[in-house]
Structure 1
Amino acid sequence: MDHQTVLQGMQQLSHLDRDVKEAFTELGMPEVRVRPSGFETFLFTIISQQLSTKAATTIMGRALGLMEETTPDQFMKIPAQSLRDAGLSFRKIEYTQGLAEAVLDGTFNIDGLENFSDEDAIKEIIKLRGLGRWSAEIYLMFSLGRMDVFPADDLGLLVGLQLMKGLDSRPTPKQAREMVKHWTPWRSIGALFLWHYYHHHISTLN
């Protein structure tokens, strides 16, 4: 998901949706987001749940400092108490160790996700405890570069859609998916822009 791809997507969405066109003219390009694919990103995804970005980054840094390199094998060698001391909860230790074990025993093939369709890749990811559909969709968007994913359970997207469409109430995830069906095959870019729109309007309210 590079700058040129996002620009192309925004241009296409502007043809498909008048509200997007008006908002794009007002706000310009959303920030391009890219995350590396692989074990480290899944590890951070679990660690960061229900934490601020700052707190999650601090804890992740401590965890990384306990390994010579960030691999499932190295992670499994870390004593549980060391992970607790780094800031992981007992539940997150369970989930992260489960992730590492699944990679090591071959039941979760991270590299193989590239060969799956969007929905099949999501199904593979959410088989793991601690990783839900939202986490899977974010991974597809920013680590695998899939262009037609819409994480409709995201509160920021729902509020952004409400604001951009001038709705009286926030749409449900199901309603949101219906509302952006015509954005296919650029729903990932549309989601990126809705976050951009949401943060702009929330900051003006504050």
Structure 2
Amino acid sequence: MLSFLEPLIEIEPKFQVIIDTYGHPIITTRPSGFVALSQLILEQQVSIASAKACYDKIEKHLNGFTPKLLLEVSDEELKACGVSRQKISYIKNLALCIEENKIDLESFHSKTEIEVYSELIQLKGIGKWTAQVYLMFCLQKKDVFPIGDIAVQHTMRELFQTETLEEMENHANNWKPFRSLATYLLWHHYLRKRNR
């Protein structure tokens, strides 16, 4: 067993059952910053493959992907790359906030989960799920529980007989300060059980 899993498994032995059944989860990371946050916005309500194709078209068209380049390009050009008008406004707003120093993504590394989350959800187009996924994958924050995630909800019902979001949240509070790791295990169970 990987040593970093031990404290969580002591709290919640059912996670050992997941590992015994499906092996250890692969914990992926992403770089932090403007590109990563923009990609998460593009991924909202579409497949990752579709969002990646869209991002690749923008990057090729602009010959890069920076706040400055995004603000200089027309909405019509971005629409031609497959971006919806709503997401264009979200990404451009993010670019503007960075250019005008209203938000400093680099400072997030030294801030707590709650501080970063509070700043992110103030931004247009960044809701709870996007903020939480950024915290987990891009900043590797240790204690994040994306309760809005459908796979997390499904697995919580299946393994812990929790029905309401409040019950799920209360149960997950037992896993502090390892809720990100717990979430990776919940996702791992959900995907492997479905051969994905």
Q: Determine which of 63, 80, 87 is the counterpart of 1:85.
A: 80
Give the match for residue 15 of structure 1: 10
- For structure 2, which runs of at least 5 residues remain unmatched after alignment? none
Partner Cα separation in structure 2 for residue 37 and residue 54 of structure 1: 20
Q: Determine which of 156, 162, 187 is the counterpart of 1:195.
A: 187
Q: Determine which of 92, 102, 108 is the counterpart of 1:107.
A: 102
Give the superposition deviation at 1:19: 1.3
Give the superposition deviation at 1:202: 2.9
- Percent identity, please: 26
TM-score (norm 2): 0.94
Contact kept, 8 Å, 1:30 with 1:196, in 2: the verdict is yes
Give the match for residue 167 of structure 2: 175
Indicate yes or no: 2:177 matched with 1:185.
yes
Contact kept, 8 Å, 1:84 with 1:90, in 2: the verdict is yes
Partner Cα separation in structure 2 for residue 126 and residue 151 of structure 1: 14
Give the superposition deviation at 1:157: 0.6
Q: Which runs of 4+ in 1 moved over 6 A?
A: none
Contact kept, 8 Å, 1:152 with 1:174, in 2: the verdict is no
- For structure 1, which runs of at least 5 residues remain unmatched after alignment? none
TM-score (norm 1): 0.89
Matches for 1:40-59 after TM superposition, within 5 Å = 40-59=35-54
When the two chains are superposed, the root-mean-square deviation of aligned CA atoms in Å is 1.7
Matched pairs, number:
196
Give the match for residue 147 of structure 1: 142
Partner Cα separation in structure 1 for residue 88 and residue 167 of structure 2: 36
Partner Cα separation in structure 2 for residue 100 and residue 173 of structure 1: 34
Give the superposition deviation at 1:131: 0.3
How big is each residue's C-alpha offset from its partner over 1:121-171, in whole Å with a ceiling of 9 and x where there is no partner?
A: 101001111001111111111111111111111110111122223x2xx63
Partner Cα separation in structure 2 for residue 49 and residue 182 of structure 1: 29
